[in-house]
């Protein structure tokens, strides 16, 4: 699986605006749900084609159309027509490898974000999917790359009528969706933080190659997360500045809160990168330390025993004329000399603080 | 204990503005104290509920309500109502993991900061807590995550009537609180600086794994401090620029002084990070140096004695026809040759500057 | 072959504006093709000199003159005259080592870009060539350093009349050319990403010198790519901002899309650089790990057997008076002692977690 | 001695504006000198209290009051009153650990700088002291932390009446003082540069631990210098921009020159930091090189002699049935085989380029 | 020779504006040449004093005075007077260690640049000299630190009357001079690029200490070049923006071209720095690789032969009761066992991929 690059290049050679879905997997079935609500009324249904949503679009109630699994270009082919979108907008929504961005087209705002949907704690890989939002005067259309409702809590809020969501317009709904996406990052970062903390304890005392593997995996993920999260700041900032009449003033203060969270996410990613770099340096130093320790053991043993071995070697020679061999106390003397040399060596090493 | 990430993610799924306290520990009892003063009068009392402070709020005297241990949401639930705060402000105050920030709501200013309250000199961990301030026309409400009065000196100043605090308004009080928070960082950095200086001396001469552990701990703390302190600059800068009518002109010059101190704190954190990075590099080089020294000892010993050992080995062979064995001076010759080789080797190593 | 610097210095000493082709190789023949089209009509022909294009230039149809292999200065010498270009523009087009840039001369816009035309997967070298575009009111002249039509897909689009290209003006054609150049980078980066991913798997488990070579090659290419791609952002940004009347409003939205892709390219290059730096650190740590492992094996063997060897050495001595030699169980005792020492050592190493 | 942090934290708990001297040492006696001059007249005297300078202050001549050793707060307590200074200004002057800064109070300008007064070439430590200047309409008051007249050359210029100083106003005097402070940094950097150049020569050829110590010391000083010098740029820039009527137009051009020198100082500090980082990397690589060399020697010796030693070992065995032992040419054969193996090994190592 | 710092500090203590030449060497004789030309006329002569140029200065023709070797302050002492220059300008011209800068004095523009005049390919040192230009309404005065006409090609252009130089004013001449200086950097960088490319090939396969030396030398030069080249961007940018009436509009487009080349130079220096950093990392990794290889050889040899040596040691013991010694096949058995152990070891190492 290729995670480092995006497949935008497949488009090379096609006329701009050609409708081709460019995501990785095309397994799930497309599922379209529609919610329509105001403070009093509320309905929730599954629809087959986007055409069914047209009747809701022009009513004063807030209409939220959510499309999960957008690979079936056939279903979506009339998307631009239904909602009056520019061909490039449709292309951006279908191209699953778009850089996060926000564009204001006057009548509607396109927001393209990425959300982490799965964290593989074994390979420490974080899979992300693209989420696109189109915010119109009283509707929001959201597109998810894969099935699985990441917006379930918001759906529940609408159903229960809790909080201010039922009392607010489409811009508040868009805020709630973006907010839930940003919160997902905080949750993922928390998990990664736990991995880092548990790893940190063994870093100096017991550096094992697995630690290195984890550090590498996490660093790679931070680099990738950093790439997909950094554009968020500008996106939410642009929304918050409220240059579009689609974003009403009371929502601005909530967007300012998301803005803070976005900066928090970016800060945390940068902090984690710094920490992992630091950990890697520490790891390298720890391994050097350990090599040094191993070297010392080797050197102590070799320095004591290699010279010692010379003595028995000498008295193992077969020269005819070796007076010591005939001495009465020659053999005990050899023992005494050898033990003496050994003890002297040990004392020397202790003095050098190698022991 | 998780220190790397904040628990903002717990909120995921709740409607924005839901009142849940998100700090780490919920042990201490909430304690609310109230000070009310002007140049002439002064009173100081403990109150049970925020309602008791309402009567003071509307008098021309400066009212300071300080809440320690804010986990009992029940006591604080009417907070927004009492002081007319936006629901998100109340949420920010209760959420103990907020990014430091300052927001001007016209009638009042919210300042969220972090303060280090404990430095564990064993694990070199710095625990921080969140402090929120709400500055109104003639009142300040301050919220501390934990019990323990970090503002004791300011309280004493008010009691003694020393300095200009009793003669000044609520904005000066807010300045004094922020100033004391920034000074706490300088104090903590001083302690860390001492740890670094004492460690520095052993860095080149005697690099031990404990040094590595300390460097790692301090680097981690610097990264975390950096994250919580960096937003201060913008916060104090915004206050100083005096865009809000709540901040009167004479206080601006004092805020400009805090601004300088804030930059000093940030500069020092950056300087310490640079120094720790440098120290780590030096540590690694020192360990390499030591490994090199150990290697030299091993090599000298092995290079002298391994070849030497060959000679007695040869004359320990049991060949029938080995003329040297019968020579009168064969044995002394072996000694002479061996000593000669050893001395030559030593001279070679001295020439190579290994000795 | 010199790839690190550009040969702009050859010009030193010549009067500015002197017509000298400064590219690397002068092998290919210059080939000039001309396309002239509007929504209804279309013609496509090869021409000999730029003069032949003059008649088309002044018609309302879009005229695209493409020059491949621009080394024959003779053919191009009237270039400035034909299209009314400033001498420095002609010099920039002919100088194959120009920094990517965009300059608005009022009547026409000069865009100089670089395109990767070949990726040598053995040496991991990416060869780039310079592409210059001159956009006038209803014509585009493009200059390629080498033969080989990188714009083939666009040519096909014009021939087929698909997409909006036939319905749009010269500015859209220029957009399409720039877009196809940016897409080429995405394609190359994808290939490099695959190289990196395949390499990544062996990084911790099996670091071989070839891995190091590849990391080095890729890092070098990233540095070089970074240098040639970074100016793109400003170039496309300037075009997008639409300050020139030559760029009509509907094209702006397409340029904004290219702008996003350009940022994507730059981001990816930076991300890859970060990853390669991280990989290099991991590589170094892995090699240290392996050295540590090798050292352990050596130390274990040496620590067990060097001391053991002392025992037979002692009983190989030829002293007359060595009581042990005459003992009945002396020889088996030696075996027992040696095996005992060996087992004790192994247990010690297991305890130290070296085994 | 603590050099890493400043003792600003001692103030924590005191009301802002409290007069406490916060420098490190309080040894020297305070000494106040006064110079009063214009183009024609000139006087120079030592005074006891700042009150004595008041009469000069209101004359049209330029008055320069220089205070050396500012620890005696008693003498300075009326400072604010004498010159009409804001309490915070007096606090900044007395607090010896202030961050360099410039503040315009309308009637006067406060400039706080640091100057290196001593370079310990043994520990490579650079001691700095704080210098504060107050520039009024026709007076300059300067405060030095320690005794010792760093402004001696300027005093001489005034005495001699050379240069334009006597013909110019108080703003030119302030310029001259700032200029001499900036020049001091250039002098110190030159000394450090010499240390670096002498060290550089031994870096690759003979890396010794002392080199490492010096690199570390210099890096630390660069980090500290960088911290105290960086604010200069903004300070001098603000002065140069001439927003204050206290700075007359002809002085601006001189300040622009100081501004260039300030950037030169900052550039040099950054350049030195880069160089020292580079040197440290080279040092580490050199040590690795040397370890590699040592390893090769060890490996060559061990690889040649350890296998060789096996041969005499074998023929030293006491088996009854070892036919070789009885052979006539057995012993010479052993020599030939051993020499042959040794030579083959050497040739192998030469081929591997280890010799 | 001191290359790291500039000797500006020698000035410390002198009144600003004192005329002292501060370059390194004072060997060459000062030589002043004068060219005076317009489209029709042209003269070229050597003059003794600057006074001789005064008569040309006020004519409408372009006058170019070039001073080589500016150490003879005596000759230049009337410089300020002749051309009406501010004392600080004269000081900047004479001070050979000035930071590159551009200053607009209304009547004339001062440009101070540095040019590399010699590349020592042995020590990889690039010597630079200072070049100052004063551009007036119809004259240019250029000052070179050393003799040797770096502007020879431009002189030739004027003589030949080729290009537009004779048809243009003094501003074009200034452009041509600056352009030739920037081109010199490109030429030097090209040489350095060649050194790097030739070095790169041996980096992974055969890292030798000399490589390290070269990397270090080049890194140092890049740091120094970076310092002297970085200000160029701003200088040329300021000239190009054409705020001075001395720079006429047609010259602006040429300056914009030099601006591009300047950015190219700065980019290349940065690119080279990145590459050298990368190379150093690779070098370090390569050396680690090699150490690892050496260690493996040592470990293989030691692990095979040290245990093997134990066997002959055992059968060399002199115990009376060693049944194996009397066995008929004892000696061949020893050989078989030893060879068996050796082969088993080799297979083990092959399995571990050490062979």
Q: Encode pLDDT of C42-64 as tens digits.
A: 888 888 888 888 888 778 899 99
Retrieve residue A217's tokens: 């995996």
Q: What is the pLDDT of residue A191?
A: 86
Q: Is the dihedral of CA A270, A271, A276, A277 positive or negative?
A: positive
Q: Tell whether C183 lies on the interface with A, counting CB pairs under 8 A.
A: yes
- Is C197 in contact with E252 (CB distance < 8 Å)? no
Q: Encode pLDDT of A138-177 as tens digits.
A: 899 999 887 776 888 898 889 888 778 888 899 999 999 9
How many CB contacts within 8 angstroms connect chain A with chain C? 185
- Is C338 in contact with C311 (CB distance < 8 Å)? yes
Cβ-defined contact of C291 to E295 (cutoff 8 Å) = yes
> Mutation test of the interface with chain B: which of D3, D331, D334, D345, choosing the one with the most B Cβ atoms within 10 A?
D331
- Which E residues in the span 288-347 are in contact with C, Cβ-Cβ below 8 Å? 288-289, 291-292, 295-296, 298-299, 302-303, 306-307, 309-310, 313-314, 316-322
Cβ-defined contact of C18 to E317 (cutoff 8 Å) = no
- Distance (Å, whole) CA B213 – CA B192: 14
Residue C133 has pLDDT above 90, yes or no: yes
Q: Where are the beta strands (DSSP E) in C259-353?
A: none
Mean pLDDT in residue range A104-120: 88
Mean of per-residue pLDDT scores for chain C? 84
Residue E22 has pLDDT above 70, yes or no: no
Comparing CB atoms, the residue among B2, B226, B298 nearest residue A303 is B298
CB atoms < 10 A from the CB of E202, how many?
Answer: 13
Mean of per-residue pLDDT scores for chain D? 84
> Mutation test of the interface with chain E: which of C1, C3, C11, C15, choosing the one with the most E Cβ atoms within 10 A?
C15
Q: Which residues on D lie below 8 Å from B306 (Cβ)?
A: 301-302, 305-306, 309
By CA distance, what is C89's nearest residue in E? E257
Mean of per-residue pLDDT scores for chain B? 84
Closest CA to D36 of D58, D14, D15, D20: D58
Q: Which residues on A lie below 8 Å from B94 (Cβ)?
A: none
Closest CA to A297 of E322, C307, C198, C27: C307
- Is E283 in contact with E207 (CB distance < 8 Å)? yes
Comparing CB atoms, the residue among C289, C306, C316 nearest residue A316 is C316
Comparing CB atoms, the residue among C2, C98, C325 nearest residue E320 is C325
Q: Tell whether D81 lies on the interface with E, counting CB pairs under 8 A.
A: no
Retrieve residue B155's tokens: 């309280």
Q: What is the pLDDT of residue E275?
A: 92
Mean pLDDT in residue range C270-288: 91
CB atoms < 10 A from the CB of E300, how many?
Answer: 22
- Distance (Å, whole) CA A17 – CA C13: 49
Closest CA to B163 of D10, D13, D90: D13
- Is D322 in contact with D239 (CB distance < 8 Å)? no
By CA distance, what is C306's nearest residue in A? A305
- Distance (Å, whole) CA D292 – CA D299: 10
Q: Encode pLDDT of E268-305 as tens digits.
A: 999 999 999 999 999 999 999 888 889 899 999 999 99
Cβ-defined contact of C16 to E295 (cutoff 8 Å) = no
Position with higher pLDDT, A343 vs B191: A343
Cβ-defined contact of C257 to A308 (cutoff 8 Å) = no
Residue B336 has pLDDT above 90, yes or no: yes
Q: Which residues of E55-80 are buried (b: 16+ CB within 10 A; e: fewer)?
A: ebbeeebbbbbbbbbbbeeebbeebb
Cβ-defined contact of C257 to A16 (cutoff 8 Å) = yes
Task: Tell me the nearest-neighbour CA distance from E158 into chain C, angstroms.
Answer: 10
Cβ-defined contact of B256 to D298 (cutoff 8 Å) = no
Determine the angle formed by the axes of helices E209-240 and D249-315, rounding to 10 degrees: 160
By CA distance, what is D300's nearest residue in B? B303
Comparing CB atoms, the residue among A164, A253, A285 nearest residue B212 is A285
**Chain E neighbors (3+ CB pairs < 8 Å):** C, D
Residue A326 has pLDDT above 60, yes or no: yes
Neighbouring-strand partners of residue B101: B112
Residue E154 has pLDDT above 80, yes or no: yes
Mean pLDDT in residue range A96-125: 86
Cβ-defined contact of D325 to B318 (cutoff 8 Å) = yes
> Mutation test of the interface with chain D: which of B163, B175, B201, B204, choosing the one with the most D Cβ atoms within 10 A?
B204
- Distance (Å, whole) CA D237 – CA D235: 5
> Mutation test of the interface with chain A: which of C176, C272, C319, C355, choosing the one with the most A Cβ atoms within 10 A?
C319
Residue A63's pLDDT band (cuts 50, 70, 90):
very high
Q: Encode pLDDT of A284-296 as tens digits.
A: 999 998 888 898 9
- Is A123 in contact with A136 (CB distance < 8 Å)? no
Long-range contacts of B38-45 (CB under 8 A, 24+ apart): B38/B62, B38/B166, B39/B166, B39/B167, B42/B158, B42/B159, B42/B161, B42/B166, B44/B155, B44/B158, B44/B159
Residue C171's pLDDT band (cuts 50, 70, 90):
very high
Mean pLDDT in residue range E215-219: 91
- Name D30's Cβ contacts closer than 8 Å, sequence gap at least 6: D67, D68, D69, D70, D71, D72, D75, D76
Q: Encode pLDDT of A73-90 as tens digits.
A: 666 667 777 888 888 888
How many CB contacts within 8 angstroms connect chain C with chain E? 183
Residue D60's pLDDT band (cuts 50, 70, 90):
confident
**Range name among A51-55, B188-192, E297-301 with the lowest pLDDT average:** A51-55
**Chain A neighbors (3+ CB pairs < 8 Å):** B, C
Residue B14 has pLDDT above 60, yes or no: no
Q: Which residues on C lie below 8 Å from E302 (Cβ)?
A: 298, 301-302
Cβ-defined contact of A219 to C256 (cutoff 8 Å) = no
Comparing CB atoms, the residue among B9, B86, B223 nearest residue A271 is B223
What percentage of chain D carries pLDDT values higher than 90?
30
Closest CA to E188 of E240, E226, E238, E234: E226
Q: What is the pLDDT of residue B94?
A: 83
Q: At A225, is the secondary structure helix, strand, or coil? A: helix
Mean of per-residue pLDDT scores for chain A? 84
Task: Tell me the nearest-neighbour CA distance from E175 into chain D, angstroms.
Answer: 23
Residue C19 has pLDDT above 80, yes or no: no
Task: Tell me the nearest-neighbour CA distance from C123 into chain A, angstroms.
Answer: 21
- Is E211 in contact with E199 (CB distance < 8 Å)? yes
What percentage of chain B carries pLDDT values higher than 70?
90
Helix/strand/coil (H, E, C) string of A53-88?
A: HHHHHCCCCEEEEEEECCCCHHHHCCHHHHHCCCHH
Mean pLDDT in residue range B293-316: 91
Cβ-defined contact of D316 to E317 (cutoff 8 Å) = no
Mean pLDDT in residue range B310-335: 89
Across the beta sheet with D101-104, what order do the strands follow?
D42-47, D31-37, D62-68, D139-144, D125-135, D109-120, D101-104
Residue D27 has pLDDT above 80, yes or no: no
Residue A332 has pLDDT above 70, yes or no: yes
Q: Which residues on A lie below 8 Å from B328 (Cβ)?
A: 321
Cβ-defined contact of C263 to A8 (cutoff 8 Å) = no
Comparing CB atoms, the residue among C2, C92, C291 nearest residue E291 is C291
Comparing CB atoms, the residue among A187, A254, A302 nearest residue B12 is A187
- Is A287 in contact with A280 (CB distance < 8 Å)? no
- Which C residues in the span 214-273 are in contact with E, Cβ-Cβ below 8 Å? 215-216, 219-220, 223-224, 226-227
Mean pLDDT in residue range B39-45: 88
Determine the angle formed by the axes of helices B249-315 and D249-315, rounding to 10 degrees: 20
Q: Which residues on E lie below 8 Å from D204 (Cβ)?
A: 209, 212-213, 216
Comparing CB atoms, the residue among B204, B264, B279 nearest residue D213 is B204
Q: Tell whether D125 lies on the interface with B, counting CB pairs under 8 A.
A: no
How many CB contacts within 8 angstroms connect chain B with chain D? 183
Q: If 0-12 CB within 10 Å is exposed, 13-18 middle and 19+ buried, where does residue D265 land?
A: buried
Residue with tokens 């030693």: D309
Interface predicted TM-score of the whole assembly (ipTM), two decimals: 0.81
Residue A19 has pLDDT above 50, yes or no: no
Task: Tell me the nearest-neighbour CA distance from C301 into chain E, angstroms.
Answer: 6
Q: Encode pLDDT of D262-281 as tens digits.
A: 999 999 999 999 999 999 99
Model pTM greater than 0.90? no
Comparing CB atoms, the residue among B5, B15, B306 nearest residue A163 is B15
Q: Which residues on C lie below 8 Å from E260 (Cβ)?
A: 98-99, 101
**Chain D neighbors (3+ CB pairs < 8 Å):** B, E
- Is D4 in contact with B196 (CB distance < 8 Å)? yes
């Amino acid at each position: 699986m290729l995670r480092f690059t995006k497949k935008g290049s497949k488009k090379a050679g096609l006329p701009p605006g050609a409708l081709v879905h460019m995501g990785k997997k095309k397994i799930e079935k497309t599922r379209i749900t529609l919610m329509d609500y105001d403070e009093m009324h509320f309905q929730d249904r599954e629809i087959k084609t986007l055409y069914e949503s047209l009747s809701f679009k022009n009513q004063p109630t807030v209409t939220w159309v959510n499309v999960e699994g957008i690979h079936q270009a056939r279903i979506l082919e009339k998307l631009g027509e239904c909602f009056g979108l520019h061909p490039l907008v449709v292309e951006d929504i279908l191209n699953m490898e778009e850089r996060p961005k926000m564009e204001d087209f006057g009548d509607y705002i396109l927001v393209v974000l990425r959300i982490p949907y799965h964290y593989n704690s074994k390979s420490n890989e974080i899979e992300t999917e693209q989420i696109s939002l189109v915010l119109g005067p009283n509707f929001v259309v959201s597109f998810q790359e894969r099935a699985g409702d990441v917006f379930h809590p918001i759906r529940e809020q609408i159903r229960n009528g809790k909080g201010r969501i039922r009392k607010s317009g489409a811009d508040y709904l868009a805020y709630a969706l973006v907010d839930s996406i940003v919160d997902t990052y905080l949750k993922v970062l928390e998990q990664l933080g736990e991995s880092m903390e548990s790893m940190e304890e063994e870093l100096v005392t017991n550096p094992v190659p697995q630690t290195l593997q984890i550090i590498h995996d996490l660093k790679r993920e931070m680099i990738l997360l950093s790439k997909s999260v950094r554009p968020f700041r500008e996106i939410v900032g642009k929304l918050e500045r409220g240059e579009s009449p689609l974003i009403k003033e009371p929502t601005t203060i909530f967007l300012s809160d998301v803005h803070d969270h976005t900066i928090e996410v970016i800060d945390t990613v940068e902090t984690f990168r710094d920490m992992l770099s630091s950990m890697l340096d520490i790891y390298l130093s720890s391994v050097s330390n350990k090599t040094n320790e191993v070297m010392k053991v080797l050197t102590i043993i070799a320095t004591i025993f290699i010279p010692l071995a010379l003595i028995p070697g000498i008295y193992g020679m077969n020269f005819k004329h070796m007076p010591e061999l005939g001495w009465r106390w020659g053999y005990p003397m050899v023992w005494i000399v050898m033990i003496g040399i050994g003890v002297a060596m040990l004392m020397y090493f202790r003095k050098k603080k190698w022991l």
